[in-house]
A and B are shown apart, each in its own frame.
Chain A
Amino acid sequence: MLARISYAFRETWASFKRNVTLTAAAVVTSAVSLLLVGSTFLIQRAFDNLLTRWKGDVELIVYVRSDASPEQIAFIQEAIESQPTIIDVSKLRYLDQAESYAEAQKLFAGDPGTLRLLTPENIPSQFKVVPTTDDSNLIRELGESFRGVEGVREVAYAQDVFDVVSRVSQFIRVATTVMSIVLLMVAIGLIWNTIRTAMFARRREIEVMKLVGATNWFIRIPFMLEGLLQGLIGGVLSCAGLWGLNTAWSNAVTDFNDTELAALVVSDGYVRWVMVMLLVIGAAAGAIGSGIAASRFLDV
């Protein structure tokens, strides 16, 4: 067993050195494509952050002052529920201060300054209103009617954010997804090619191996390891790139001091998760691509 493992690693390393240029091309391409995959994830997450407040067809949010009394809150709720022709009462949600605080953690991940000012005690609670109508004028009219009500701090409309954001995010989402898929395919193609070249360079050995009774897996595994390594190195490079990009972006956004934009920052935890994903995708694509290539060219 040990002999087999050391054999596999020796062969992988030798082949790696033999094809420096092709290997480099495959590694760089997979790095770039994985970086795009990662960026797609982050961009989607950033826009999702921005729209978190408006999830579930919420069109109108009534923010309630943190010092509002239970009676005032009950009154606001009644006032909203008294408009069943315009709003969907069954979908009306009230986020108390604890829930609003949890939401804010995500919303202001990129804005520690704002976050520090917020506590579960001073944060406004909120009513999320899902309308039954598409008529934005009606919704706006309803919203405005709450402005003067005691205990109401602010009224926000989804439409203000949505029109721009959702269209932009949709576009970016499609563009980055398409690009990353295309590049990932190019990367797999390049890995495929390096494996084919590596196998051609070793065709005599492979012929002898088959004749003396080496199993196909035994022959294939060094090549799969090579592909896996290429994908993995590409993944590591893309992780470094992604981390750099995200840090630069976060710093830039924080400098703006704009709370709306701050929602576009993605938390470190999510970035780390994406990085693990990239490593896994890189390694898997490399190993599977080269494994298929090796099988294809194994018929000596």
Chain B
Amino acid sequence: MIRLESVTKSYSTEVTALRDASFEVAKGEFVFLVGPSGSGKSTILRLMNRQEQPERGEVWVAGKDINAMPDSKVPFLRRNIGNIFQDYKLLLNKTVFENVAFALEVIGRPKHVIKQQVPAVLDLVGLSDKEDRFPHQLSGGEQQRVSIARAFVNRPLILLADEPTGNLDPATGEGIMRLLDRINGTGTTVVMATHDQRIVNQMRKRVVQLDRGVIVRDQERGVYD
């Protein structure tokens, strides 16, 4: 589903964010990217949906070399990739329903599709009763569920999560992880960057560890370190 081939990315001449990184993620897999801040976890995620382009190497997503595709095709690549962030990135002036609907609206989905799919995905994340709330009326965990609903409403092949539990207390974080695990169970490939040791150790999924831009460990059913 995703393949990095000796990818190198630097943001300036001094800072190399990623050095000669290669690994492959199979369809339906759940992968943790772990490592300290600045080790290149986020860079990998940003390379996977072409928010960044590497200096060297190739990034293949769903059978395509995404750095070879023209800019005009990038939106269509991104429709197959859901994104979740530590800070949720919700639109504060929109309700829960509108936030999720927005993702479908801006890719031109018709109203009747929106009316049907948004409640379904809100039900999945357990927020059916909070459709009309605004983000500031929700807890952190609930806001993250909204952002997961938004990322998943279009049933993407891949879900990229950048520290999704970073702002949450352990119990709430566990709830989010159960939800991501369920989504992974539907066949969606999940790549999650985190430095939450407890969660990684609990889940026992594949772990790719980074240190200063270099992949130092790639382990099935791994632990944090």
Interface segment, B11-19, B76-84, B189-197?
Answer: B76-84
Q: Could you tell me if B49 and A205 are in contact, using CB atoms closer than 8 angstroms? A: no
Asked whether A208 lies within 8 Å of B78 as measured between CB atoms, the reply is: no
Interface residue total, chain A, C-beta cutoff 8 A: 18
Q: Are A213 and B79 in contact (CB under 8 A)?
A: yes
Contact call B107/A213, Cβ cutoff below 8 A = yes
Contact call A214/B110, Cβ cutoff below 8 A: no
Please, how many angstroms separate the alpha-carbon atoms of A215 and B72 in the complex? 7
User: Which of B77, B92, B105, B110 is the most central at the interface, judged by chain A CB atoms within 10 Å of its CB?
Assistant: B105
Closest B residue to A215 using CB positions: B75
Interface residues of B in 73-109 (CB under 8 A from A): 75-79, 83, 89, 91-92, 102-103, 105-109
A213 surroundings in chain B (CB, below 8 A): 75-79, 106-107, 154
B interface residue numbers (CB < 8 A to A): 49, 71-72, 75-79, 83, 89, 91-92, 102-103, 105-111, 150, 154
Q: Are A212 and B78 interface neighbours, CB within 8 A?
A: yes
Contacts of A212 in B (CB 8 A): 78-79, 83, 102-103, 106-107, 150, 154
- The complex places the Cα of A123 from the Cα of B138 at a distance, in Å, of 87
Please give me the residue from chain B that is nearest to A219 by CB atom.
B106
Is the Cβ of A211 less than 8 Å from the Cβ of B105? no
Interface class of chain A by DSSP: helix
Shortest beta-carbon distance from A154 to chain B in Å: 70
**Least CB separation from B160: chain A residue:** A211
CB neighbours (8 Å) of A209 from chain B are 102, 106
Cβ–Cβ contact A210 & B111, under 8 A: no
How far, in Å, is B104 (CB) from chain A's closest CB? 8
Contact indicator A211/B108 (Cβ below 8 Å): no
Contact among A4, A204, A208 for B108, CB-based, below 8 A: A4
Other A-B pairs beyond A211-B78, A214-B106, 15, CB < 8 Å:
A1-B108, A3-B105, A3-B110, A7-B106, A204-B89, A204-B91, A207-B89, A209-B102, A210-B78, A212-B79, A212-B106, A214-B75, A214-B107, A215-B75, A218-B107
